[in-house]
């Protein structure tokens, strides 16, 4: 009996020791590093947003280009090299008043035709004539675009044979003869009988206070054929 009691006591003590004894200290767990998932998501969203903006701009450009009739587009810049960059001669400007052509005199040395850059930047739009070897006088125009870039070209509206242009208060280039309106920046026709006949731009360079056009470019210029609708 005593042996059974002792065994019970030992069992009881064993239980007490098992349940009430001190437990070993828990091992410390290193804090988990913050996941980069959030940063990656933010970066991805940013990239998608940029791509979306670029895509929208590209689509807008394509849409704008698509609005130019093909029979007009093929003549815009027909004398310009593909890599031609129009010289910048002034800061960007907004035209909100009518400016008429200022006649200026160009210097012709037989190889190149030049005029003062200041005459164009001050007058905004100027006219001059160049006589070719065949005796024909070619009416020319030079003007400052809203972007500050330079346009130099032949000032001739084929259907109406008008040679005078003006910058109107609505920010358009307007033929003095027929009233056809073109955009100052791109030369695309907006309204008027001759809107499908853009002015022919020629390559020009700017250096030393002079705007220069090679005489060969003017000698080689030819009238656009009357192969497009006239009117409206």
Answer yes or no: is pLDDT of 129 > 90: yes
Average pLDDT of the residues in 95-110: 97
Average pLDDT of the residues in 77-94: 97
Average pLDDT of the residues in 13-39: 50
Q: What are phi and psi of 130, to 5 degrees?
A: -125, 130
pTM over cut 0.95:
no
User: How do beta strands 181-183 and 172-175 pair?
Assistant: antiparallel
**57 pLDDT tier (thresholds 50, 70, 90):** very low
**2 pLDDT tier (thresholds 50, 70, 90):** very low
Instruction: Name the average pLDDT for the chain.
Output: 83
Separation between Cα atoms, residue 175 and residue 231, nearest integer Å? 14
Answer yes or no: is pLDDT of 18 > 90: no
Separation between Cα atoms, residue 167 and residue 115, nearest integer Å? 20
pLDDT single digits (tens) 61-70: 334 444 899 9
How many CB atoms within 10 Å of residue 98?
A: 11
Query: How far, CA to CA in Å, does 104 sit from each of 23, 70, 122, 134, 174?
Result: 103, 35, 12, 22, 19
131 vs 58, higher pLDDT: 131
Average pLDDT of the residues in 20-49: 54
Answer yes or no: is pLDDT of 118 > 70: yes
Q: So what's the pLDDT on residue 39?
A: 59
Q: So what's the pLDDT on residue 105?
A: 96
- In the three-class reduction of DSSP (H, G, I as helix; E, B as strand; rest coil), residue 42 is classed as helix
pLDDT single digits (tens) 172-230: 999 999 999 999 999 999 999 999 999 999 999 999 999 999 999 999 999 999 999 99
Q: So what's the pLDDT on residue 231?
A: 81
Separation between Cα atoms, residue 75 and residue 154, nearest integer Å? 13
Largest CA distance in the chain: 145
Q: So what's the pLDDT on residue 122?
A: 98
Q: So what's the pLDDT on residue 102?
A: 98
Q: So what's the pLDDT on residue 67?
A: 81
Q: So what's the pLDDT on residue 214?
A: 98
Mind listing the domains of the chain with CATH numbers? 84-219 (2.102.10.10)
Separation between Cα atoms, residue 145 and residue 166, nearest integer Å? 12
Local structure of residue 103 (DSSP, 8 states):
E
């Amino acid at each position: 009996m005593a042996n059974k009691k002792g065994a019970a006591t030992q069992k009881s003590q064993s239980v007490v020791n098992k349940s009430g004894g001190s437990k070993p200290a828990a091992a410390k767990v290193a804090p988990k590093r913050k996941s980069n998932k959030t940063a990656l998501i933010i970066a991805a969203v940013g990239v998608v947003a940029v791509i979306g903006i670029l895509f929208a701009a590209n689509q807008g450009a394509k849409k704008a280009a698509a609005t130019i009739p093909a029979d007009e587009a093929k003549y815009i810049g027909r004398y310009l090299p593909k890599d031609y960059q129009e010289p910048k001669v002034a800061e960007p400007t907004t035209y909100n008043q009518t400016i008429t052509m200022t006649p200026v005199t160009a210097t012709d040395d037989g190889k190149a035709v030049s005029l003062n850059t200041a005459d164009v930047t001050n007058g905004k739009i100027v006219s001059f004539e160049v006589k070719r070897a065949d005796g024909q006088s070619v009416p020319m125009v030079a003007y400052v675009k809203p972007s500050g870039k330079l346009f130099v070209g032949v000032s001739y509206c084929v259907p109406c044979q008008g040679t005078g242009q003006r910058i109107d208060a609505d920010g358009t280039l307007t033929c003095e003869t027929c009233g056809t309106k073109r955009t100052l920046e791109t030369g695309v026709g907006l309204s008027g009988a001759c809107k499908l006949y853009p002015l022919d731009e020629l390559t020009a360079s700017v250096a030393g206070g002079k705007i220069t056009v090679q005489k060969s470019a003017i000698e080689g210029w030819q009238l656009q054929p009357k192969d497009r609708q006239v009117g409206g």
